[in-house]
Structure formats: C-alpha cells, structure tokens
Amino acid sequence: MKPKKSYGQHFLTSEPIAERIAKSLILPNNCKHVLEIGPGMGMLTKYLIDEPYNLKVVEADRDMVSFLRKNYPVLDSKIIESDVLKLKLEEHFQGQFCVIGNFPYNISSQILFKIIDYRDQIPEMVGMFQKEVGERVASPPGSKVYGVISVLIQAYYHTEILFDVDRFSFKPPPKVQSNIIRLTRKSNQVLGCEPGLFKAIVKTTFGQRRKMLRNTLKQFTKSADFLENPDFKRRPEELSVAEFIDLTTKISQLQEK
C-alpha cells in the first residue's frame, strides 16, 4: 500500500509510539465508545481493537478500507467509510464517545473545529498533529502562536502536549515534526456568554490580530465609551479565554439595549 498525497497520508512505522498513543486515552466519565479517525493500515488500530470499549473507525480511502476489512476482519461492521468532516457523528454515536487518531495534517485543524461542535458528546481526544498545530492549541496568551484555535479549544477543554514524534517515525517522512496532544473536556462547559457571539468575536479579532480591539470590535457595538476603554488598546493575543468571555458578555449586554 502506497501513501496518497491527496489524503495527506504518512504511515506511522513505530510500534512503540503507536502503542504509547493508544495507552494515552484515559476515557473520562467511563466513556465506553471510541472513534479512530484515519486508521490507514491499522498501525494504531491494532492496539485499540482488544481494549474493553466499543471501537469504530472512519476512513475515507477505499483502498485502506479494503485493507482493513481483509487484515482486521473483526472491524468489518465497525468501519465507517466516509470523510469525517462530512460525517454526522450523532448518527453513529447516541451518547458520549472519545476520539483518537493519527490525523492527516491537511485536515487536522478542521477536525479540531468539528470536535468543538460535538463537545457535548466528546469528553476526550488524543491525536497526532503537526508540531506547530499542537503547540498552537496548547499555547497561553501572549504567545506568538496563540490564536483562534487556542481560545476556542481552551474554552471547553484542558489541553496537554503529551510527547513529540520524530518525522522519521513515518513512511514517507513528512517535512515537519509531530506531537501528540490530549484534550480533556472541562467539567463546566457553560461559558457564561452566548457561544456563537463568543466564536465570532474571537475569529474577528484574530482575523486582524495586529489591530487593537477598539478597531476590530466596531462591528459588534457602536458604544464609543465602551470602545474607548483603555483595555481596548490591547491586541487579541493578550486576552485570556476568561477575558474573551467577559468581553463577549459585555458586548452582548450592549446589543440588548
């Protein structure tokens, strides 16, 4: 089986790393269902099959699906042949399920946004990412890589970088290094503000991250007094998740007047 560029495939070849990834799932809240995204030829899958939870895998590449059916017959009824980004996960999982995978780099950020959309059902994720993406997810305010995905993920999940993976652990080796991150859903997901407005404010401010907040927030409020507050001379990378939530709450209150 040859990796396909169109699917962003780089096959993990290290058995110890695959086993370590599999053991990184902690299954909070007694989660009994796990979805593996992008199993490929089953390097990680083989360490998940015999675990005491209900495993399903989603794979878009038909050749890989055929390979899995032939080499892992126990998976036959548990393979979802689909593009995970187009998949309606609620049709396959009625309750809570955890997510794991060596994610294709070309869709890894989109997978994270999908996890946010399904945060009520996904208490945990363990995944392989390009190192820069993993660092962005876990970065604190003030960091150069702190951005939209940092704020939106950290609003709902605790983030951990578990370990790095050298690029020569893959075939073919990618041009970048990788890391494994774990997301564990926070016990209290109630932001205290309207989630849609929160997301819009975060995306808008980071869309022009070099500008001060008073310049990027004009579309959300016409209150001159509010926008002239000294805090709005700051830039988005200076705000913590809590400060973005507080900002959203104040703007929402002004919009209601």
Domain enclosing residue 77, as ranges: 5-185
pLDDT at 254: 80
pLDDT at 7: 57
Domain count along the chain = 2
Q: Are 177 and 129 in contact (CB under 8 A)?
A: no
What torsion, rounded to 10 degrees, do the Cα atoms 246, 250, 253, 257 define?
180
pLDDT at 189: 76
Q: What is the DSSP letter of 230?
A: G
Q: Are both 152 and 248 inside the same structural domain?
A: no
Beta bridge partners of 55: 34
In a domain, 190, yes or no: no
Q: Are both 81 and 10 inside the same structural domain?
A: yes
Per DSSP, the chain holds a count of helices (H) and strands (E) of 9, 9
Two structure tokens written together for 184: 């564990």
Q: Are 176 and 198 in contact (CB under 8 A)?
A: no
pLDDT at 172: 81
DSSP states of 75-133:
GGGGEEES-GGG--GGGT-SS--EEEEE--GGGHHHHHHHHHHTTTT--EEEEEEEHHH
The number of CA neighbours under 13 Å toward the Cβ of 104 is: 21
Q: How far apart are CA 166 and CA 17, in angstroms?
A: 10
Q: Are both 173 and 200 inside the same structural domain?
A: no
**84 closest CA partner among 111, 64, 56, 105:** 111
- Cα separations (Å) of 88 from 69, 108, 115, 226? 23, 17, 12, 41
Q: Tens-digit pLDDT profile for the chain (257 aa)?
A: 666 666 566 788 999 999 999 999 998 877 899 999 999 899 999 999 999 899 999 999 999 999 999 999 999 899 999 999 999 999 999 999 999 999 988 899 999 999 999 999 999 999 999 999 999 999 999 999 999 999 999 999 999 999 999 999 988 888 889 999 999 999 887 888 999 999 999 999 999 988 999 889 888 887 777 778 887 889 999 999 999 999 999 888 887 66
Q: What is the DSSP letter of 207?
A: H
In a domain, 64, yes or no: yes
Task: Indicate the pTM of the whole model.
Answer: 0.91
Q: Are both 236 and 130 inside the same structural domain?
A: no
Pairing of strands 124-130, 79-81: unpaired
In a domain, 109, yes or no: yes
pLDDT at 256: 67
Question: Who contacts 185 (Cβ-Cβ below 8 Å, separation ≥6)?
Answer: 28, 119, 122, 123, 124, 156, 157, 158
Q: Are both 199 and 169 inside the same structural domain?
A: no
Q: Are both 130 and 98 inside the same structural domain?
A: yes
In a domain, 232, yes or no: yes
CATH code of the domain in which 160 resides: 3.40.50.150
Q: Are both 60 and 174 inside the same structural domain?
A: yes
Q: Are both 24 and 85 inside the same structural domain?
A: yes
